Amino acid sequence: MFTRIEINPKKMGGKAVIKGTRIPVYFILELLANGWSIEEILENYPQLKKEDIYEAIRYASMILKEEEYIEISS
């Protein structure tokens, strides 16, 4: 289902990373959440491809669909 993401307990503590890199999915999402464009990410991390970023977003979406309800206090 996800060909560009790998999870290996020996890499980044088992966090989901872009295959062939040590760039975690959560890091890509943090960059996007902080206003970075896909183009800026690709310029600063040339080992990434646009498809890597899209797959990171799809992976996070799948994880959140499976997540149980947790109340967030304000």
How remote is the C-alpha of 17 from its chain's centroid?
Answer: 7
* Domain range annotation of the chain: 5-66
Q: Any idea which fold 5-66 has?
A: Arc Repressor Mutant, subunit A (1.10.10)
CB distance 38 to 53 below 8 Å: yes
For position 16, what pLDDT does the model report? 96
What does the pLDDT average to over 3-9?
94
The tens digit of pLDDT for each residue in 13-50 reads 999 999 999 999 999 999 999 999 999 999 999 999 99
- Split at pLDDT 50, 70, 90, the class of 65 is confident
For position 51, what pLDDT does the model report? 98
Helix/strand/coil for 73: coil
CB distance 8 to 1 below 8 Å: no
How many Cα neighbours within 13 Å face the side chain of 74? 0
